[in-house]
Amino acid sequence: MTTRWPDSARIAVSLVVNVEEGSEYSVRDGDRSPEPVDELGIVLRRPVRSLGNESNYAYGIKAGGPRVLALLARHRVRATFTAAAVALERAPELARAIVAGGHEVCSHGYRWIHQFALPEVEERQFIRQAVASIEKTTGERPHGWLSRYLLTPDTRRLLVEEGFTYHMDDYSDDLPFWDVVSARPILVIPYALDSNDMKFWLAPSLTPEQWLAYAVETFEVLYAEGAIDPKMMSLGVHLRIIGRPGRIRAFERFVQHVKSRPDVWVATRLEIARWWATAHPPRSI
């Protein structure tokens, strides 16, 4: 493949900001147990509210979100905010700020729950609820989809049937590619887990400097390879994680590093999807 990205860029960089806070599992919302993903590593399986963890998630909306948005504005870059619909419903000021910043909102489900446990009828309703909610909150329907962790054998077909442009539940490549479901194409834009800031919670000994070094090394390898064939890099972060004072500068230094290189296209995933569909349309079915 020799087709370059726009302006002959050798690499497309996709910054993905996850917005899950306020939509996670909670006894308050009728779930059987509280959210198990906790920076403290405490998993409660009883029907009691984990008030400490709820406040940790709330930090992402109250402090982390404004900090991340300010960083993106300073460096004049746009990101894709993969948002659980209920999280934006409950944080309308954050939703307005995301839209005002020119960022894309991709659907991360109606709530940040295990979509893969839903039967087909309920999964379709889950997808439709997310679309309707995000469109109401932001003024535009989501064009992309990212599940929480896993998907079902029906997910991609349902996304095609519900009019989605691209799907993120894939980690198999450094470039988008087409899939065909029920004789209809959908673009798969792979995501990345190895560089995700969730590592700070999964591996508490990880330092911001180590995370930054890994992200920069990832970029540099793909940037070098992009001199021959274009590449894409995804970097996923979370408001409640990277938005902490001790971590935010690592994210900022990554953005600065990316912007210091020529021939780099920092783009939303929808921009990448639309460009790819024009430059590399799906083959006739």
The residue ranges of every structural domain in the chain are: 6-279
Q: What is the pLDDT of residues 169-208, one digit of tens each?
A: 999 999 999 999 988 999 999 999 999 999 999 998 999 9
- What confidence score (pLDDT) does residue 168 get? 98
- Taking residues 138-165, what's their average pLDDT? 95
What are the angstrom distances between the C-alpha of 77 and each of 2, 5, 112, 122, 275?
26, 17, 26, 37, 18
**Cross-strand partners of 19:** 83
Q: In 80-143, at which residue ranges do the beta strands (DSSP E only) sit? A: 80-83, 104-107
The answer, yes or no, to whether residue 285 has pLDDT greater than 70, is: no
pTM: predicted TM-score of the whole model, two decimal places: 0.95
**How confident is the prediction for the chain on average, in pLDDT?**
95
Contact 235, 192 (CB under 8 A): yes
Count each helix (H run) and each strand (E run) in the chain, helices first.
11, 9
User: Which tokens hold the place of 281?
Assistant: 């349309």
User: Which tokens hold the place of 231?
Assistant: 């590449």
Lowest mean pLDDT among 36-45, 146-155, 176-185, 262-271: 36-45
Residues in the chain: 285
Confidence of residue 235 (pLDDT cuts 50, 70, 90): very high
Measured torsion, CA atoms of residues 85, 87, 93, 94, in degrees rounded to the nearest 10: -90
Q: What is the pLDDT of residues 155-174, one digit of tens each?
A: 999 999 999 999 999 999 99
Sequence-distant (≥ 6) Cβ neighbours of residue 202 within 8 angstroms: none
At the fourth CATH level, the homologous superfamily of domain 6-279 is Glycoside hydrolase/deacetylase (3.20.20.370)
Contact 2, 30 (CB under 8 A): no
Sequence-distant (≥ 6) Cβ neighbours of residue 4 within 8 angstroms: 10, 230
